[in-house]
Amino acid sequence: MSGRHVHLVGSYPAADARQAMTIMAEVAGPHLTSLPDGEVGPRRQWITHILDALRVHPDVELRKDGDWSGYDTRPVFRVKRGHPLTAASLHLGHAAAAAESYEIFHMVREQYSLNGLSFQVGIPGDLDLALFAFGPASAMTRRRAFRDALTREIKEIAGWAGQDVLFQIEVPAELVMVATVPAPLRTLVARRLVSGMIKQVTAASPGTRFGVHLCVGDLNNKALKRPATAAPVVSMVDALVRAWPEGRPLEYVHVPLAAGDEPPPLRTAFYKPLESLAALPGDIKFAAGLAHESQEPGDQRKVLRIVEDLLSRTVDVSPACGLGRRSPEAARRVLERAVTLAES
């Protein structure tokens, strides 16, 4: 065995959680350390169902309508004048969905003899929810309500799943912001954004297990931004490791090297900044989001070798984001490709 594992980000195109988890376990089971429930149904489009539910929220009104056909055609909301927006009024659905899937997870884990496999639950960043819901002008002032609502759900899930659950914090907005600013400002901006992210982690109970999924967006399988190099990823990972609080394990960082329907670049120069992460603590796994259905296997192996040579370590293999926005056939190819790369 190579020592590599396969990391699956979250969503998978399946009829229900049982089918999604069964396919993932059947194809990649021995290579997995955690298993998401496939985020099926409305959750297949990440947070769009949460934001669409704001249409009927008593304290919120629509400012600009949208159909989610692109990043610029999403609905944007505002809090009604004289109304509060509180965590108590936000029901985001993560705990309810996890409760429905947890027993299925147990059955799949037992069926495929995957002892030690963790139940992975994706949690969006509070800033990401506020930004997509209310736009950049109001995001910072509205994020607290989302953070408190997410904290409530994390504690609820951890209350009945204990150490069996691994929470994945998902943050496209932060990485895209870092990728957008001039290079001299990346470190400063990354540290500022991570300091806000970390509040979500420290609000969780001690001992809560976490991973972080850095993302460049995957709405309709299209990235919000394709960085010119891996430098923004490096800035974010470095800031995360520096700021991460004690007592809440950071088990992995997942980084996107592909971007939506675009496979990872073949240019070594794109990955060169990763060299500065060679000192990443050994107990934090690095999941390389490079598995892609449209790139030849030999080119995929080349990218994997480049990344591992620069990091001076074995990495885990992953797609760049969840597979829910792909067809079932394409998702299966990515899943099989990840396994092949992990075994190479």
pLDDT tens-digit series, residues 140-163: 999 999 999 999 999 999 999 999
Sheet containing strand 34-35, strands side by side: 34-35, 118-124, 165-171, 210-214, 250-256, 285-289, 316-318
Q: Which domains does the chain have, with CATH numbers?
A: 17-343 (3.20.20)
CA dist 246 and 313 (Å) reads 24
pLDDT tens-digit series, residues 263-298: 999 999 999 999 999 999 999 999 999 999 999 999
Is the pLDDT at 1 greater than 80? The verdict is no
Closest CA to 10 of 252, 276, 319, 269: 319
Average pLDDT, the chain: 97
CA dist 213 and 273 (Å) reads 19
Enumerate the β-bridge partners of residue 214.
Answer: 171
| Chain mean position to CA 295 | 22
Residue 251 DSSP class: E
172-180 and 186-202 helices cross at what angle (nearest 10)?
Answer: 170
Determine the residue type at 220: N
Q: Is 103 exposed, middle or buried (0-12, 13-18, 19+ CB in 10 A)?
A: exposed
**Which alpha helices (DSSP H) does the chain contain, by range?**
17-28, 48-52, 94-111, 126-134, 136-161, 172-180, 186-202, 231-243, 268-271, 297-311, 328-343
Is the pLDDT at 256 greater than 70? The verdict is yes
Backbone angles phi, psi at 201, to 5 degrees: -70, -45
H/E segment holding residue 323:
none
pLDDT tens-digit series, residues 47-70: 999 999 999 999 999 999 999 999
And the tokens for 212?
Answer: 């972080």
Is the pLDDT at 327 greater than 60? The verdict is yes
Radius of gyration of the chain (CA): 19
pLDDT tens-digit series, residues 78-134: 999 999 999 999 999 999 999 999 999 999 999 999 999 999 999 999 999 999 999
Q: What is the pLDDT of residue 211?
A: 98
Number of helices (H) and strands (E), helices first, in the chain?
11, 9
CA dist 95 and 107 (Å) reads 19
- For the beta carbon of residue 193, count every other beta carbon within 10 angstroms: 22
Residues 23, 335 contacting (CB under 8 angstroms): yes
H/E segment holding residue 322:
none
CA dist 338 and 344 (Å) reads 10
pTM: 0.96
Residues 55, 72 contacting (CB under 8 angstroms): no
Sign of CA dihedral 114, 118, 119, 120: negative
